[in-house]
C-alpha cells in the first residue's frame, strides 16, 4: 500500500483564503491531480479519508472548503454520525450557506483551485480530474464546462439538480465540455428525478460529450458518505470502482 501524506493547506482566491486538505503519495514526486468537491456537510474526516484512498491509488488530491466565505471548516457543527432526519437543524443551518455559493462564485473559485494545482510541486503537469458528491457533483459538471482546457475527466455521484429548467442549470455547459464524464445517480433521490436524469443524458449526448451515466438501484442521496444515515456500502464500492476506472483511463 502506498504511503500517503495529508496536510491542511491555504490557497488564495479572488474573494479570500480557502482552507483545504491535500493528500498525495509520500514519495515527494508529482502525481496526476484530482480536485475533489465536497458534499453539503463539508470538509470533515470522511472526505479526508476519501482523499487518502485516492492518494493511495497514486493521485494528488485537493479537497477545498468551498464554503470558506463563511469560515474555516467545519463551517457548521456536525455530529459524529449525521442523520438529518433526526437533526433537521443541520440542513436549516447549511441551506443558506449553499444558496450563497452561486455558480458565478463557485466557478471563480474553481479557477483558483486549478491555478493552485498547476503550481503545486506534487501535482503533475497537465489537465486534472474532478470528482464531486451531492452538491459537489454539480460543481464538477460546471467546472468541466467552464475550464475545458484544464479538465480531462469529471465524475459526479448522487448529484442533485444537475439538469433543472433554470437558466443556470449545470447541464447547459455541456457544449463546452471536452472531458470524459461519469455520473453515478441514486435512484432514491428526490433532488434528481427521472426527468432530470433524462435531460442530462440528452444534453451530453447531443453535445458529443464522452460520458457514461448509471443509476444505482437502492441507493439514496449521499450513498458514498459513511458518516451519514444515507450510506450504502454496496453503492459506495461501486462508486470507487467506477471512479478509479475513469482515472486510469484519463491518466
Question: Which member of 24, 158, 211, 221 is catalytic?
Answer: 221
DSSP 23-82: EEETT---B-EEEEEP-TT-SSHHHHHHHHHHHHTT-EEEEE-TTGGG-SSPSS---SSB
Q: Is 120 a catalytic residue?
A: no
Q: How far is CA 140 from CA 4, 36, 122, 143, 230, in A?
A: 24, 8, 22, 5, 21
With H, G, I as helix, E, B as strand and everything else as coil, classify residue 14: coil
Q: Across the strands, what pairs with 132? A: 37, 156
Sequence length of the chain is: 251
Q: Is 119 a catalytic residue?
A: no
Q: Is 189 a catalytic residue?
A: yes
Rounded CA separation 19/65 (Å): 6
Q: Could you count the other beta carbons within 10 Å of the beta carbon of residue 54?
A: 24
Question: Which member of 24, 134, 227, 239 is catalytic?
Answer: 134
Question: Which member of 24, 31, 185, 189 is catalytic?
Answer: 189
Residue 170 has what DSSP assignment?
Answer: G
Which residues are annotated as catalytic? 134, 189, 221
Amino acid at each position: 500500500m502506498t504511503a500517503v501524506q495529508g496536510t491542511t493547506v491555504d490557497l488564495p482566491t479572488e474573494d479570500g483564503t480557502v482552507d483545504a486538505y491535500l493528500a498525495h503519495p509520500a514519495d515527494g514526486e508529482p502525481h496526476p491531480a484530482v480536485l475533489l468537491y465536497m458534499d453539503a456537510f463539508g470538509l470533515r474526516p470522511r472526505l479526508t479519508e476519501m482523499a487518502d484512498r485516492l492518494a493511495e491509488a497514486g493521485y494528488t488530491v485537493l479537497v477545498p472548503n468551498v464554503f470558506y466565505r463563511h469560515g474555516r471548516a467545519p463551517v457548521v457543527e456536525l455530529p459524529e454520525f449525521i442523520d438529518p432526519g433526526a437533526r433537521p437543524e443541520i440542513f436549516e443551518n447549511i441551506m443558506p450557506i449553499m444558496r450563497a455559493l452561486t455558480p458565478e462564485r463557485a466557478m471563480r473559485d474553481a479557477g483558483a483551485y486549478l491555478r493552485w494545482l498547476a503550481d503545486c510541486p506534487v501535482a503533475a503537469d497537465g489537465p486534472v480530474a474532478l470528482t464531486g458528491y451531492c452538491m459537489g457533483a454539480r460543481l464538477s459538471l460546471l467546472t468541466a464546462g467552464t475550464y475545458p482546457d484544464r479538465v480531462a475527466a469529471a465524475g459526479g455521484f448522487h448529484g442533485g439538480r444537475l439538469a433543472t429548467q433554470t437558466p443556470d442549470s449545470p447541464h447547459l455547459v455541456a457544449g463546452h465540455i471536452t472531458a470524459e464524464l461519469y455520473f453515478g445517480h441514486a435512484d432514491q433521490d428526490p433532488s434528481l428525478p427521472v426527468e432530470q436524469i433524462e435531460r442530462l443524458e440528452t444534453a451530453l449526448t447531443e453535445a458529443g460529450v464522452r460520458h457514461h451515466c448509471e443509476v444505482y438501484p437502492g441507493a439514496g442521496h449521499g450513498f458514498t458518505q459513511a458518516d451519514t444515515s444515507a450510506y450504502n456500502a454496496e453503492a459506495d464500492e461501486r462508486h470507487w470502482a467506477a471512479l478509479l476506472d475513469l482515472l486510469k483511463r484519463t491518466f
